[in-house]
Amino acid sequence: MPTLSLPFLGHGGDYNPDQWLSRPDILEEDVRLMQKAGCNLMSVGIFSWAALEPEEGVYTFDWLEGVLNRLHAAGISVFLATPSGARPSWMSQKYPEVLRVRPDGGRNLHGGRHNHCFTSPVYREKVAKINEALARRFGHHPSVVGWHISNELSGECHCEMCQQAFRSFLKDRYGDLDALNAAWWTGFWSKTFTDWNQIHSPTPQGEDALLGLTLAWRRFVTHQTVDFVKAEMEPLRRLTPDLPVTTNLMCCFGGFDYQTLAHQIDFTSYDSYPGWGVGPDEKNAAEAAFNYDYMRCLKNRPFALMESTPSQVNWHDICKLKKPGMHLLSSLQAVAHGADTVQYFQWRQSRGGAEKFHGAVVSHEGSENTRTFHDVAEVGETLKKLQDVRGRMPAPKVAILYDQENRWALDRSEGPRRDKKYLETVIRHYAALKRRGVDVDVIDETCDLSSYALVDAPLLYMLRPGAAERLTRFVEQGGVLTATCMTGRVDEEDLCFLGGFPGPLRPLFGIWAEETDALTDSECNGARMEDGSVYDTHYYCDLIHAETARVLGTYASDFYAGAPCVTENEYGRGLAVYVASLPGDELLDHLFSRLLSRAGVKPLVPDLPRGVWAASRGEYLFLMNFSGREQCLSVPDGTELLSGRAVRGTVSLPATGAAVIRLTSC
């Protein structure tokens, strides 16, 4: 399989010249400005179907050839997009089947973007044809270095073809209705299915309280989306076997499982839009970093930062400008966590349309004389200094377990509180690990654990097949595993484990969780540790019995004050720690500090100040200051690449500043 392998760190963005075909002067000016901004990589053709096939079967590719030629002449490479993110109007008009059907059974009209049925044979055929034509015409154009499939895949369709495909998927998964009925526990409320055609996708107008069905539907949406992507790629794989393929993914997206998709594409790419300046930037930085590490781990390779804004977005409630320095810092953050490109949406602001006020390298004003353009050119300059980072990867000894199927099951499960806090908790735990100054992988339940010394698995409600065994083996062989309340409740079908929670992990943690209390958002309990200190805990309180585990902390209040709250269980050569509630930041800091030490994991930098982030790629150490004020750090010796200066012992970072140190010895 090919992979992303550029001769440079990529810099550029979505380039939509089809909006400006009537302005050849602007098309020329674009290339001049790209060179001036240090751009070397453009994504071309996203959403261009109407310009590429204005009527059915009539392909008008010449303008695109002109664009590719001009870019190539200027030394700029291209991710060539397939245009399937939006259909031309004529297609919806002639073939209404390509349009999505809503959960209420109504078929959408043409509009928006996406909004197509992934099952529709007509849509698949039209996509395959234009992809084939693009691959034949441009697949070997010297500017093209990769395929950009569709755009931000999402959504689902409830049409009759999708219902049939769903039933086929279920037949494959369960074999017969008895197995399906058992898995979905349909005996409750008389939901037993006696004919496959009785099964319909979940909808508020029909069945939406059967979690087995809902989970199966989410798995089907994953399956069908990935199947569509495979069909999209077929002509590309056939005609351009050496070109790597990606599709751009989204922040915290939960509509289908990215891990499943990742197996089909050659490299991941990501669209990053933190709300810098709205809320604390330390929190914004944590969410961004978590997603970068998630992207890096999906294929365990560097990824492309496919979209970001050089200025502000236009679709947040409050769209702040990036403060001076923030564009460089936030771009370096992506690189620090594994990005081999820094790309923008979009190159030039649209005059009209839904995103006309979205930040772009070239504004409506049109010149290079803007703060944003200068910021972009500065990133271009900086990336040139960091070329050798390309392709490097960290080697984390620490992983956090974030599982999409667990998220679906937990979030949709009823009780003991409505708002489950899963994603928020995972990111909070991730940030606490990063505060310890270590590199962190983001993995799911299907991943191999053998390379890690510590794995944190908050709210691991659902244990998918093999997960309990992998976690147990991990600890047996010396790993440190941390878990929280609500662990080990259900199997992959959301059937509760009988015999006492955390189900198959009961021996590993050496505890039995008999009950789980819920706290309101404004309540807290606390863990009173052996030394008498008390740390806040939140949201849930498992009432646990320590069976083989040792009690490290007890509840501080409520009727279960004094009962075990934090336990550890020596198991094989490792340690399994159970926090029966959800720990606040202070307890996380306390526990991770102690447990990373026990696991033998050393920080990249000692005593990292709050708000400063560290990440490594090979011998390159990135230090990023989101704290809002100047910080001085102890660091290993090396060369700081932005300044080109040698570093001995300490480095000083201005507010919103960064350093990239090539370490002398790593």
Residues labelled as active-site residues = 152, 307
Distances (CA, A) of 33 to 11, 36, 200, 260, 513: 13, 5, 53, 39, 62
Q: Is 205 in the site for its own copies (CB under 8 A)?
A: yes
Binders in 302-361 for its own copies, by CB under 8 A: 311-321, 323-324, 349-358
Select 100 or 301, whichever has its Cβ closest to its own copies.
100
Of 74, 159, 72, 171, the closest CA to residue 123 belongs to: 159
Select 116 or 436, whichever has its Cβ closest to its own copies.
116
Contact 445, 404 (CB under 8 A): no
Assign 3-class secondary structure to 210-272: CHHHHHHHHHHHHHHHHHHHHHHHHHHHHHCCCCCEECEEECCCCCCCHHHHHCCCCCCEEEC
R_g (Cα) of the chain, nearest Å: 26
Nearest distance in Å: CB 492, its own copies: 12
Nearest distance in Å: CB 201, its own copies: 9
With contacts defined by CB under 8 A, how many residues of the chain interact with its own copies? 115
Distances (CA, A) of 503 to 180, 487, 489, 511: 22, 9, 6, 10
Instruction: Return the range that interacts with its own copies (CB under 8 A); candidates 17-25, 224-232, 296-304, 585-593.
Output: 17-25
Binding mask 68-107 for its own copies (x = CB under 8 A): ---------------x-xxxxxx-xx--------x-xxx-
Rounded distance, CA 455 to CA 444, Å? Answer: 11
Select 407 or 590, whichever has its Cβ closest to its own copies.
407
Of 462, 456, 484, the closest CA to residue 540 belongs to: 484
Select 195 or 531, whichever has its Cβ closest to its own copies.
195
Select 18 or 456, whichever has its Cβ closest to its own copies.
18
Which amino acid is located at 631 in the chain? Answer: Q
Nearest distance in Å: CB 87, its own copies: 7
Q: Is 207 in the site for its own copies (CB under 8 A)?
A: yes
Select 38 or 500, whichever has its Cβ closest to its own copies.
500
Distances (CA, A) of 68 to 80, 107, 353, 537: 9, 38, 25, 57
Select 109 or 395, whichever has its Cβ closest to its own copies.
109
Contact 235, 246 (CB under 8 A): no
Q: Of 62, 195, 448, 531, which one interacts with its own copies (CB under 8 A)?
A: 195
What is residue 17's DSSP assignment? G
Nearest distance in Å: CB 557, its own copies: 12
Q: Of 365, 469, 570, 637, which one interacts with its own copies (CB under 8 A)?
A: 365
Task: Compute the CA torsion angle 224, 225, 231, 236 (nearest 10 deg).
Answer: -160
Q: Of 69, 75, 188, 666, which one interacts with its own copies (CB under 8 A)?
A: 188
Strands 620-625 and 658-663: antiparallel
Distances (CA, A) of 124 to 128, 132, 179, 206, 472: 6, 12, 32, 29, 44
Beta-bridge partner residues of 621 = 616, 661
Q: Of 28, 55, 125, 637, which one interacts with its own copies (CB under 8 A)?
A: 55
Nearest distance in Å: CB 14, its own copies: 11
Q: Is 514 in the site for its own copies (CB under 8 A)?
A: yes
Q: Of 82, 150, 330, 372, which one interacts with its own copies (CB under 8 A)?
A: 372
Binding mask 208-247 for its own copies (x = CB under 8 A): xxxxx-----------------------------------
Nearest distance in Å: CB 634, its own copies: 30
Binding mask 103-132 for its own copies (x = CB under 8 A): -xxx-xxxxxx-------------------
Cβ neighbourhood burial of 415 (10 Å; 0-12, 13-18, 19+): exposed
Residue whose entry in the numeric block shows the structure tokens 């932005």: 642
Binders in 432-451 for its own copies, by CB under 8 A: none
Q: Of 70, 173, 417, 473, which one interacts with its own copies (CB under 8 A)?
A: 417
Binders in 265-284 for its own copies, by CB under 8 A: 278
Rounded distance, CA 380 to CA 327, Å? Answer: 11
Select 392 or 412, whichever has its Cβ closest to its own copies.
412
Select 27 or 50, whichever has its Cβ closest to its own copies.
50
How many CB atoms sit inside 10 A of residue 421's CB?
19
Distances (CA, A) of 342 to 40, 307, 310, 566: 10, 8, 10, 43
Q: Is 196 in the site for its own copies (CB under 8 A)?
A: no
Q: Is 186 in the site for its own copies (CB under 8 A)?
A: yes
The pair of structure tokens assigned to 288 is 């961004």
Instruction: Return the range that interacts with its own copies (CB under 8 A); candidates 31-39, 299-307, 414-422, 443-451.
Output: 414-422
Q: Is 473 in the site for its own copies (CB under 8 A)?
A: no
Nearest distance in Å: CB 391, its own copies: 34
Q: Is 28 in the site for its own copies (CB under 8 A)?
A: no
Binders in 542-571 for its own copies, by CB under 8 A: 543, 559
Of 247, 225, 243, the closest CA to residue 235 belongs to: 243
